[in-house]
Amino acid sequence: MQTGTHLDREHCVRAVQSKDARFDGWFFTAVVTTRIYCRPSCPAVPPKPENMTFYPSAAACQQAGFRACKRCRPDTSPGSPEWNRRADLVARAMRLIADGVVDREGVPGLAARLGYSTRQVERQLLAELGAGPLALARAQRAQTARLLIEITPLPMTQVAFAAGFSSIRTFNDTVREVFALSPSELRARVPGSGAGTPGVLNLRLPFRAPLNPSNLFGHLAATAVPGVEEWLPDCLDGAGGTPTGAYRRTLRLPYGHGIAALAPRADHIACRLTLSDLRDLTVAITRCRRLLDLDADPVAVDERLRTDPLLAPLVDRGPGRRVPRTVDEAEFAVRAVLGQQVSTAAARTHAARLVAAHGKPLDDPEGGLTHLFPSPEALAAVDPGTLAMPGTRRTTFSTLVRRLADGELHLGVDADWAEARARLLALPGFGPWTVDVIAMRALGDPDAFLATDLGIRRAAKELGLPSTPAALTARAEGWRPWRAYAVQYLWATDSHPINFLPA
């Protein structure tokens, strides 16, 4: 399936006629006779091919005068996998827009973060997505507004400003234009809508099937830092599906803080967000999706890895493995340094001490979360002599947090992957393993590969793959561009707790 302005019409028509949910979020189908746009898997009778036209984004559909289908709700599709597998200008811009930068800083702020002119950013987004940054941000605001209308008791005035609209009139006009209903009509359509607890939102996060939750939630639970993360049994019992327990963690957000509880279900991720400021809703959802790699295309990944006869049995045994990522790139980089050459338990202990001493306290009525992870600025003020680690690692830690605090090292969603790698490698104590694990889990590079990891080398030897880093890297050329996912399948051959959901 081609993307951007190069959508393959024949493939799009076939996807719509077969109601292929795999392509939800890749493109949108606009029906010229009804002026409605849908996701490819819309359950309605497919329109005639001559009445279909295709757009690469919901914003492009809206700009062309189409409204969202009330049946398939295209605004609830998973995001396009394109923006998480690419590191070019458009992909970086889309990640920033999803993180709410246009709402907070405007298009000039978006362009400044990307290092390009406003005109160049607008031109490239329009060429590939059929809509500029303002239209893309507007479509996202409409989606956020719909969520708040349907699942909170907030008055519409508060909904409008929490969703990022600058005025009530703009909010009303946008909702009517996108959904062909007024805000009050939207709320009336959903039984029990507006009956939630203020500041607490229960959501369903969609994903492309299959999804294997074992390594995803197992990894997060096994490496959880006390006070910041925890695994609780059955804490989302009322969220639909069979309760399996939930991963919970604190979130540092642009307007305040929050707590996310995430639990796997058969066809979605149950998500409960507790936010100190509802303006952070869009950002919190985006970061939870990124943490769980929910916008991945597992079919494309697994098809590629199955071409290696030694990997194919691992993929067939547990398809749909995701890469566990992070909600805070700087936090993960610090934790990667704390985990150098020590066990998982020791790394958790080091991190927990930092959290207790330097993290910002918060209240958690539902569990045992106590702090936000310390910011780079707070950690830069720590006396290295108080750290219970070897002197060389103290130097590594101190240098990293200073570079993060002063902005010399940037690891955000808009980071240039090649530049970030080069800056990391220039730091004292940073070798290939540390750089690659940060690239895989913080930067989100789907092709990062841990050739020097002992677990990977052990798994490779057991499978009959080359076990030396150089030879294994050469063999892994055939797994591109999904080597980070190959790492998950190789790790899964071990009996380490990261590979299993907690009992």
Q: Is position 227 within any domain? A: no
Answer whether 422's CB lies under 8 Å from 457's CB: no
Q: Report whether pLDDT(139) > 80.
A: yes
In a domain, 53, yes or no: yes
Instruction: Summarize the confidence of residues 280-287 as an average pLDDT.
Output: 96
What does the pLDDT average to over 263-276? Answer: 94
Q: Which of 295, 328, 436, 453 is catalytic?
A: 453
Tell me: pLDDT of 1 over 80: no
Please list, in sequence order, all residues whose beta carbon lies within 8 angstroms of the beta carbon of residue 48, skipping any fewer than 6 positions away. none
Q: How confident is the model at residue 162 (pLDDT cuts 50, 70, 90)?
A: very high
- Judged against a pLDDT cut of 90, whether residue 7 lies above it is answered with no
Kindly tell me if the per-residue pLDDT of 235 is higher than 60.
yes
Is residue 443 in a domain?
Answer: no
Is residue 70 in a domain? yes
In whole angstroms, give the CA distance from residue 168 to residue 162.
11
**Is residue 137 a part of any domain in this protein?**
no
Q: Any idea of the CA torsion for 301, 307, 310, 312, to the nearest 10 degrees?
A: 50
**HSE-up of 1 (CA within 13 Å, CB side)?**
26
Q: Return the bridge partners of 38, or none.
A: 29
The domain in which residue 71 lies consists of 4-76
Rg, C-alpha atoms of the chain: 23
pLDDT of residue 278: 94
Mean pLDDT, the chain, whole residue set: 93
Please tell me the predicted confidence (pLDDT) of residue 392. 92
Q: How many domains does the chain have?
A: 1
CB 87 within 8 A of CB 416: yes
- Domain contains 195: no
Mean pLDDT of 200-209: 93
Q: Is residue 50 part of a domain?
A: yes
User: pLDDT, tens digit, for every residue of 326-377?
Assistant: 999 999 999 999 999 888 999 999 999 999 999 999 999 989 999 999 999 9
Which range has the worst mean pLDDT, 24-33, 74-83, 268-277?
74-83
Closest residue by Cα to residue 3 from 109, 72, 66, 81? 81
Provide the angle, in degrees to the nearest 10, between the axes of the packed helices 89-98 and 101-114. Answer: 160
User: What pLDDT is recorded for position 3?
Assistant: 42
**Tens of pLDDT, residues 248-269:** 999 999 999 999 999 999 999 9
Q: What is the DSSP letter of 479?
A: G
Q: Quick one: pLDDT at residue 502?
A: 85
Residue 378, pLDDT above cutoff 90: yes
Type of residue at 459: A
* Alpha helices per DSSP H over 115-212: 118-129, 133-151, 156-162, 168-179, 183-189
Look at strands 257-264 and 269-275 and give their pairing: antiparallel
271 is catalytic: no
Res. 135: pLDDT tops 70: yes
With beta carbons less than 8 A apart as the criterion, state whether 349 and 388 touch: no
Identify whether 476 is part of a domain: no
Q: Which CA distances in Å does 352 have to 366, 396, 434?
A: 20, 19, 20
In the numeric block, which tokens belong to residue 118? 């406003």
Q: Give the pLDDT band of residue 189 (cuts 50, 70, 90).
A: confident
Q: pLDDT at position 196, please?
A: 59
Instruction: Tell me the pTM.
Output: 0.93
State how far the Cα of 240 lies from the Cα of 213, in Å rounded to an integer.
16
Nearest to 221 by CA among 503, 455, 446: 503
Task: Tell me the mean pLDDT in the region 9-28.
Answer: 93
Answer yes or no: is pLDDT of 155 > 80.
yes
pLDDT tens digits along 436-486: 999 999 999 999 999 999 999 999 999 999 989 999 999 999 999 999 999
pLDDT of residue 4: 42
Average pLDDT over residues 20-27: 91
End-to-end CA distance of the chain: 40
> Cis peptide before 47, with omega less than 30 degrees from 0?
no
Q: Is the pLDDT of residue 41 over 50?
A: yes
Question: Domain containing 15 — which CATH number?
Answer: 3.40.10.10
2 confidence band (pLDDT: 50, 70, 90)? very low
Q: Which helix (H) or strand (E) holds 205?
A: strand 200-205
pLDDT of res. 45: 94
Q: Where does residue 392 rank: exposed (0-12), middle (13-18), buried (19+ CB within 10 A)?
A: exposed
Cβ burial of 333 (10 Å; 0-12, 13-18, 19+) is: buried
Tell which residue, 147, 274, 251, has the closest CA to residue 200.
Answer: 274
- Is the N-terminal amide bond of 446 cis, ω within 30° of 0? no
- Selected catalytic residue, list 12, 24, 38, 328: 38
Whether 302 sits among the annotated catalytic residues: the reply is no
Residues 120-141, buried b or exposed e (16+ Cβ, 10 A)? ebbebbbebbbbbbbbbbbbbb
- The residues pairing with 232 across neighbouring beta strands, listed in sequence order, are 246
